[in-house]
Chain A
Amino acid sequence: MNIKKIMHVENLTHFYGNQIGCKGINFDLYKGEILGIVGESGSGKSTLLKCLSGEISPSAGKINISLDQGGVKDFLSLPEQEKRQLMRSMWGIVHQNPRDGLNLRISAGGNIAERLLNVSEKNYSFLRNTGKYWMKKTEMDPDRIDEFPLSFSGGMQQRLQISKILSSNPQIVFMDEPTGGLDVSVQAKILDTIKSIVRDINVTMIIVTHDLAVVRFLTDKLLVMKDGIVVETGLTDRVLDDPQHSYTQLLTSSILQV
């Protein structure tokens, strides 16, 4: 069995002035893997995600990417235009607040179609059918395709954002606290939806969250961050059930039992 390595991160470091954002991050990501990044607020997990997804340029380090076309590329030294194009078509970013990822002035269907238009898909009925297909897949009512995002509940907006990102078949999806602002009653269903879609389309994903229940159910492997560095890494259930580092032990023993 030979699975392709699609991202190689080496010594990735970002400073905000003198302040460490993240420091000396190393990991490999293979096709179809789901990586979780956990840590308390201020641990550098969001900074790391932003460096990886191209939202900020890190101070130092290397990100090699190897997508379906084009061989291995040094992401950080790509021309700005090529980077933008890559982020638009092959990256997908799911924001914590769905309103940051959705265009509120266009319909649900329009939101899903928007990314497909970016990869120059222009056939109207194809776009509409894809919209309906993805609404169904994320357990939304496809008859509401012409409604605007603001008429949906928070959980529905998050489903719409996930539809929008996944419909264009991205090679890497970045999620920042995907269930963060949601009611616990909708969290589990969204997690289940994400999980079943992930299995169907074999997408590669990086999820940042402080919620250990989310990483347990969604991710394959884990980076545990504290003060900008990775203190422990490994198979998700191994890290959670047999934590080796003192901070991971503190984190896993602090979960409240309901």
Chain B
Amino acid sequence: MKIIELKNVNKKFILHNQKGIVLNVLKNINLEIKTGECIALVGKSGIGKSTFLKMLYGNYLPSSGEINIYNNNKINIANSLEHQIINLRKYFIGYVSQFLRVLPRVPTIEIVSDTLKQQSLFDEHSLIKIKKLLSELNIQESMWNLSPLTFSGGEQQRVNLAKTLIGNYSILLLDEPTASLDDMNKSIVIDMIKSKLKKNVTIIVIVHDNKIRNEICTREINLEKYIPNDN
């Protein structure tokens, strides 16, 4: 069953304050992604992998085309009311960016709890579940009540992952989820991604490590074929 569909999607950036330069990034994307697939986005650096992921999340606006997400009904994320997209993000699509972005002074454990609260899944068992997840990701107990903004890059990335992986999403968009992790933490995160796949979650991931890609992904989408000719 298809869960994501892109129809004639084009993306360009117009830099009005830099002499109106037009950057054509991606052109004529037509593709479908089925429930439970784990897609690796590939292509050289700067080709538009993060742009692609951000368009799926509604964070970037396609210049033309449709991006349809199949929930119970079809929602074109490129042309929907804001509250419809917000609702989709609350319950259906999770996104892990490359860098953690949170309010200062909010403790790690609250940041992770917040996802469950938003999904109305927070109950008396939640804290145990959150603590277990943080421990599995090797975030020490002494850090749970601190803001992650002072943590190391790898620790911040794991908090960022915890914040999304704790939730119950049908689609996960992961932008280099293992980039700043050591080998031990990498394999922990890979196992977590695998267990999401077992639950039939659809995953689209940017990952440069061939070995990881072969281990988890069911298909590759190479963005080279969507480079506009006029660049």
CB contact list, A186-200 vs B, under 8 A? 188-189, 191-192, 195, 199
The closest CB in chain A to the CB of B71 belongs to A1
Within the complex, the shortest CB–CB distance from A112 to chain B, in Å, comes to 25
Please determine whether B83 and A244 come into contact, CB atoms closer than 8 angstroms. Answer: no
Check B106 against A221 for contact (C-beta < 8 Å): no
Cα distance A195–B106 in the bound complex, in angstroms: 12
Minimum Cβ distance to chain B for residue A120 (Å): 33
Looking at B14, B61, B117, the one whose CB has the most chain A CB atoms below 10 A away is: B61
Question: Are B17 and A235 touching (Cβ within 8 A)?
Answer: no
Does A255 reach chain B (CB closer than 8 Å)? no
With contact pairs A241-B54, A241-B59 given, residues A192 and B103 touching in the complex (Cβ less than 8 Å): yes
**In the complex where A192-B103, A220-B86 touch, is A238 in contact with B17 (Cβ < 8 A)?**
no
B46 near A: Cβ within 8 Å?
A: no
Instruction: Tell whether, in the assembled complex, residue A199 and residue B118 are in contact, meaning their CB atoms are under 8 Å apart.
Output: yes
Q: Is A11 an interface residue (CB 8 A)?
A: no
Q: Are B59 and A221 in contact (CB under 8 A)?
A: no
A247 nearest in chain B by CB position: B16
The answer to whether B151 has its CB under 8 Å from any CB of chain A is no
Assess whether A235 is in contact with B16, with CB atoms less than 8 Å apart.
Answer: no
Residue of B nearest to A33 (CB): B83
Interface check B99, CB cutoff 8 A: no
> Chain B: how many interface residues by the 8 Å CB criterion?
23
Count of chain A residues with Cβ under 8 Å from any Cβ of B? 27
The reply to whether B86 and A249 contact each other, CB–CB distance below 8 Å, is no
Q: Contact between B82 and A33 (Cβ–Cβ < 8 Å)?
A: yes
B81-118 at interface with A (beta carbon < 8 Å)? 81-87, 103-106, 117-118
**A3 close to chain B: CB less than 8 A:** yes
Q: Smallest CB–CB gap between A184 and chain B, Å?
A: 9
**How far apart are A192's CB and chain B's nearest CB, in angstroms?**
5
Which of A1, A221, A241, A249 is close to B82, meaning CB atoms less than 8 Å apart? A221
> How close is B58's CB to chain A, nearest CB, in angstroms?
6
A32 CA to B54 CA, complexed, in Å: 25
Residue A10 lies at the interface, judged by CB distance under 8 Å to chain B: no
B51-79 near A? 1/0 per residue, CB < 8 Å: 00010001111000000000000000000
The answer to whether A242 and B82 touch across the interface, beta carbons within 8 angstroms, is no
A220–B86 CA distance with the chains assembled, in angstroms: 8
A114 → chain B closest CB, angstroms: 31
What is the minimal beta-carbon distance from B183 to any residue of chain A, in angstroms?
32
B184 within 8 A of A: no
Minimum distance in angstroms from A189 CB to a CB of chain B: 6
Q: Do B104 and A188 touch across chains, with their CB atoms under 8 A apart?
A: yes
Chain A residues with Cβ below 8 Å from B15 are: 249
Q: Chain B, 6-21, contact with A by CB distance < 8 Å: what is the 0/1 string?
A: 0000000111110000
- Known pairs A235-B58, A238-B59, A238-B60; A188 contacts B103 (CB<8 A): yes
Asked whether, in the complex, the Cβ of B117 is within 8 Å of the Cβ of A234, the reply is no
The complex places the Cα of A1 from the Cα of B75 at a distance, in Å, of 12
B58 partner, pick from A30, A191, A238, A249, beta carbons under 8 A? A238
Q: Taking CB as reference atom, which chain A residue is nearest B105? A: A188
A130 to chain B, nearest CB (A): 23
The reply to whether A191 and B103 form a contact with Cβ atoms under 8 Å apart is: yes
A171-192: CB near B (< 8 Å → 1, else 0) gives 0000000000000000011011
The interface of chain A, by Cβ under 8 A from chain B, is: 1, 3, 28, 30, 32-33, 188-189, 191-192, 195, 199, 217, 220-221, 234-235, 237-238, 241-242, 244-246, 249-250, 253
Beyond the given pairs A1-B87, A241-B59, A249-B15, 19 more chain A to chain B contacts, judged by CB atoms under 8 angstroms and listed by A's residue number, are A30-B83, A33-B82, A188-B105, A188-B106, A195-B103, A217-B103, A220-B86, A234-B61, A234-B82, A235-B85, A241-B60, A242-B13, A242-B54, A244-B61, A245-B16, A249-B17, A250-B16, A250-B17, A253-B17
- What are some 19 contacts across the A-B interface (CB < 8 A)? A30-B81, A188-B104, A188-B106, A189-B105, A191-B103, A192-B105, A199-B117, A220-B82, A220-B86, A221-B82, A237-B59, A238-B59, A238-B61, A241-B54, A242-B13, A242-B60, A242-B61, A245-B16, A249-B16
Rank and list the top 6 A-B pairs by shortest CB-CB distance, nearest first: A246-B16, A221-B82, A242-B60, A188-B104, A235-B82, A30-B83
